[in-house]
Structures are given as structure tokens and as C-alpha cells.
């Protein structure tokens, strides 16, 4: 099943029971909550949502998002591409009593106490992307950014200007 995610609200239990799959592409700039995190420009992301039931008959949705978003490096303030390779699995339970004990919990699965029986696809995709973004976006650890430029500016001593005046 491929459709416009903006129009898509899925029934979690039904989606999982029928083992449905929803795939498509979306532009990251169409995701309103990402506007504060990304640099404007076309940024196509491919997503896939797969539903199934767990052994305990709980709804499980696997979310895969691939692509890249443009972020602003917080050191040099330049834009750079941040690759996204998100693969998350969520199991929806009706209440906290159905959550597995911490020692029995699978680290690769997130458990969600679902208040509603439906899931907005766009909001879900946005949540997964926001959770994957770095807290402080940087090109790479060795990016010197503005510190390098400021160091060059500081290399010229204020006394050098005084020495030039003195020579004249």
C-alpha cells in the first residue's frame, strides 16, 4: 500500500493484524516540526512502515526511513548532509501492566502505551526523524569552524597596529 502520508491515519491493531506495509517518499521540508532543525531545500526521504502481531498478539510496527537531511553545523554554521538510516520497532500495549519486565525487555524494541487506536503517519515519521537527529549538529569532530577563523583574527595583536603607527 503506497499513499500520501499527509492523508494517512492508520488503525494500529488492524494494520498489524493484516500485516500491512505502507511505503512512500516525503520531503523533509514538508514536515513542519522539522523546520527548526533542518536547512531549507528539497530533501527526499523514503519510508516504510510494516505491521505485524507479536507472539503475545500485540500490535507491532517496524519503521524504516532512509535518506538525508541538511543540518547547520553548530561550529562553522555551514550546511551539511546528515544521512538517515532509521530502523525502529515499536510494540503498542494497552496499559503499563502489559509492559515486559525490564530484565526481559528486548533492547531493539520500544514499547509504547497507546492512548489511541490510530496513528498519524506523518507525525510518526517526524517523531522518528527528530529522535535520530544529533543534539549538536557538526560536520565532523575535527571541524574547527568559527574557532579557526577567530584564531586567525586573534593572531594579529592589537600591539601590531600600535607598532605600525609608531613607525610612521
Q: What pLDDT digit, counting tens, does each position of 38-69 carry?
A: 998 888 999 999 999 998 899 999 999 999 99
C-alpha distance from residue 114 to each of 10, 71, 148, 167 (Å): 13, 32, 49, 77
Rounded distance between C-alpha atoms, residue 143 and residue 61, angstroms: 38
Q: Which residue has the higher pLDDT, 102 or 76?
A: 76
Rounded distance between C-alpha atoms, residue 71 and residue 39, angstroms: 5
DSSP-assigned letter for residue 38 = S
Select from 69, 70, 88 the least CA-distant residue to 78: 70
Alpha helix segments (H runs only) across 32-144: 121-132
Q: Which residues make beta-bridge pairs with 25? A: 46
Give residue 21's pLDDT. Answer: 95
Strands 44-53 and 9-11: unpaired
Does residue 136 register a pLDDT over 80?
A: yes
3-state secondary structure of 79: strand
Give residue 1's pLDDT. Answer: 52
3-state secondary structure of 136: coil
Q: Give Cα 136 to chain centroid, integer Å.
A: 13
3-state secondary structure of 10: strand
Which pTM value belongs to this model? 0.77
Amino acid at each position: 500500500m503506497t499513499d500520501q502520508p499527509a492523508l494517512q491515519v492508520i488503525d494500529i491493531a488492524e494494520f498489524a493484524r493484516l500485516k500491512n506495509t505502507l511505503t512512500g517518499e516525503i520531503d523533509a521540508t514538508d514536515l513542519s516540526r522539522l523546520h527548526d532543525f533542518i536547512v531549507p531545500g528539497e530533501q527526499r526521504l523514503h519510508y516504510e512502515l510494516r505491521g505485524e502481531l507479536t507472539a503475545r498478539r500485540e500490535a507491532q510496527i517496524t519503521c524504516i526511513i532512509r535518506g538525508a537531511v541538511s543540518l547547520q553545523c553548530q561550529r562553522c554554521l555551514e550546511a551539511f548532509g546528515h544521512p538517515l538510516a532509521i530502523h525502529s520497532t515499536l510494540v503498542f500495549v494497552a496499559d503499563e501492566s502489559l509492559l515486559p519486565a525490564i530484565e526481559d525487555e528486548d533492547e531493539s524494541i520500544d514499547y509504547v502505551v497507546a492512548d489511541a487506536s490510530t496513528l498519524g503517519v506523518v507525525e510518526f515519521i517526524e517523531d522518528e526523524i527528530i529522535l535520530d537527529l544529533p543534539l549538536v549538529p557538526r560536520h565532523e569532530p575535527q571541524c574547527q569552524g568559527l574557532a579557526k577563523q577567530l584564531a586567525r583574527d586573534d593572531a594579529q595583536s592589537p600591539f601590531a597596529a600600535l607598532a605600525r603607527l609608531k613607525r610612521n
